Amino acid sequence: MAGRGRAPWWMIGLLLAGLVACGSTDSDPAAKDVQRLLDRRARAVLDGNGSAYVTTWARSGQRAAARTEFERLRALPLESWSYRVTGFHRSGDRATAEADLRYRIAGYDRAPLVAARTLSLRRADGHWYVASDRPAEDASEQLWEQGAVEVVRGAHSLVLGVGQTAEALRGYTELADRAVPAVREAWGEEWSGRVVVLVPKSLEEMAELLGAPASGYRGIAAVTTGEAGGAEKAPADRIVVNPDAYAVLGAFGRQVVLTHETTHVATRAQTTAATPLWLSEGYADWVGYRGTGRTPAQVAPELRSAVHEGRIPGGLPADRDFEFGGDAGELAQAYEAGWMACRLIAERWGEVRLSEFYRVVGAHGTREGAVEAAMRDVLDTTPEKFTEQWRAYLNSQLG
């Protein structure tokens, strides 16, 4: 595969000469030919027809790479796979197409995951062929682009790994299979009850899957990807593991991490722009630690130190306090503060009210007034009163 963000030498020359002809997918007949080419390519993937897949590639050394890629794709339990051309730029027998790759993992995705791709194309003998296929600018890599994919199935989980042994992946499956029932017990049944876990070879490969610098995820054991919003817009969550950070955790920490991330999968449809991060992250931690018997002093050491030093936070953490890549201690304190807030609600108002509060906040749609309305309607309190109670709770539990 060609590297991201770098056009082929022939396109650079054409761009400089001002010769590239740009056309929409509606106005240029060649764009329709390319769409038909990609339709054949998609059908070959779904039919398991390696020969048909390879023949969509230009007659060059790329076909050997195409065979390798096809073998990697065969490992995926696909329910659907399709392309939609969204942009087309042509000059003679050379072209570049922007396309959305849409695919679903059978039994796990309620709607397709969408990946933006950039394809270089060449025409020969009156037909278009793919010369290269890479992530679009600012888009993320897909797991199969990093190597051969190993697949391990669990009762409630599907773990896909590259550069990992089957034994190691089974360990993730066991953790995910314990996480799903724990989350279902706390949150309820209104989600699929199944998770997909991606385990790349290293932190650097994890960052490629997320389309972000590796430095931002150093020390972060896992993250969950997916679109927040209504149920139809939250179809294809992926828990992406940082194997470097995960390796240093003990068995307890690994389970908490997988349960935390599984909670994000379960709550995704009710997590909207109205949901502050102290609530979404605090709730995920609350589910992760629920029933473990761990005390606030054990779970919130950074916050405990602050309380002991007389630095009780004046208010709940802001979204910016949860940004990766900053001070690790401050980031940990933000997570701990959110967890303590959710723990307070569960203890004082009950676990059912905590989950109801989460849903009502998300249903508000916009951030302004969401927490205030939910605190009034669900907890019969105000943000000011709740903050006072939370600060007193920190002092009593951590002081």
User: Which has the closest alpha carbon to 128: 205, 232, 34?
Assistant: 34
* Reported confidence tier of residue 218, pLDDT bands at 50, 70, 90: confident
Beta bridge partners of 101: 83, 115
3-state secondary structure of 366: coil
Q: What does the DSSP 8-state code read for residue 370? A: H
Tokens of 120: 């270089």
Using alpha carbons, list the distances in angstroms from residue 228 to 142, 193, 224, 338. 20, 17, 11, 19
**Alpha carbon distance 94, 110 (integer Å):** 37
**Segment among 126-130, 166-170, 230-234 with least mean pLDDT:** 230-234
pLDDT confidence tier of residue 236, bands split at 50, 70 and 90: low
Least confident of 18-22, 111-115, 131-135, 138-142: 18-22
User: Are the C-beta atoms of 236 and 325 separated by less than 8 Å?
Assistant: no
Please report the pLDDT score of residue 25 as a whole number. 53
Residue 280's region, left for phi above 0, alpha for psi from -120 to 50, else beta, is alpha
Q: Give me the mean pLDDT over the 264-275 stretch.
A: 95
pLDDT at 156 over 70: yes
CA triple 304-310-253, angle to 5 deg:
10
Which long-range contacts (C-beta less than 8 Å, at least 24 apart) are formed by 357-365? 357/279, 358/267, 358/270, 358/275, 358/279, 358/283, 359/270, 361/274, 361/275, 361/276, 361/279, 362/270, 362/271, 362/272, 362/274, 362/275, 363/270, 363/272, 363/274, 364/272, 364/274, 365/272, 365/273, 365/274
Q: Where are the beta strands (DSSP E) in 211-356?
A: 222-225, 238-241
- Mean pLDDT for 138-149 is 95
Other CB atoms within a 10 A radius of the CB of residue 154 amount to 20
- Rounded CA separation 143/141 (Å): 7
3-state secondary structure of 136: coil
**Separation of alpha carbons 242 and 205, rounded Å:** 9
> pLDDT tens digit string along 305-362?
999 999 999 999 999 999 877 778 899 999 999 999 999 999 999 999 999 999 999 9
Cβ-based neighbours of 210, under 8 Å, separated by 6 or more:
140, 217, 223, 225, 240
**pLDDT of 21:** 36
Task: Tell me the average pLDDT across 228-257.
Answer: 81
Q: Is pLDDT larger for residue 368 or for residue 5?
A: 368
User: For residue 378, is pLDDT > 60?
Assistant: yes
- State the CB neighbour count (10 A cutoff) for residue 51: 9
What burial class does residue 267 get, using C-beta atoms within 10 Å of its C-beta: 0-12 exposed, 13-18 middle, 19+ buried? buried
Q: Are 101 and 136 in contact (CB under 8 A)?
A: no
* Structural domains in the chain, sorted by start: 9-139 (3.10.450.50), 140-265 (3.30.2010.30), 272-399 (no CATH)
Closest C-alpha among 178, 179, 95, 169 to residue 132: 95
Local confidence band at 228 (pLDDT 50, 70, 90 cut-offs): low
| Per-residue pLDDT band at 231 (split at 50, 70, 90) | very low
Report pLDDT for 26.
55
pLDDT, average across residues 38-67: 92
Evaluated on CA atoms 80, 120, 85, 141, the torsion sign reads positive
Q: How far apart are CA 141 and CA 201, in angstroms?
A: 13
Q: How far apart are CA 168 and CA 161, in angstroms?
A: 9
> Containing H/E element for 120?
strand 113-124
Q: Identify the pLDDT of residue 5.
A: 35
Lowest-confidence region among 13-22, 168-177, 237-246, 319-328: 13-22
> pLDDT digit string (tens) for 161-208?
999 999 999 999 999 999 999 999 999 999 999 999 999 999 999 999
Reported as type and span, the H/E element at residue 135 is strand 127-135
Model confidence at 60, pLDDT cuts 50, 70, 90, reads confident
User: Has residue 295 got a pLDDT over 50?
Assistant: yes
**Confidence tier at 227 by pLDDT (50, 70, 90):** low
**Between the CA of residue 374 and those of 196, 341, 379, what are the distances in Å?**
32, 14, 7
pLDDT grade for 2, boundaries at 50, 70 and 90: very low
Per-residue pLDDT at 209 exceeds 70: yes
Query: What average pLDDT does the structure give for the chain?
Result: 90
Tell me the C-alpha distance between 300 and 281, whole Å.
14
Which residues, in sequence order, are bridge partners of residue 63? none
d(CA 204, CA 206): 5
| pLDDT of res. 326 | 72
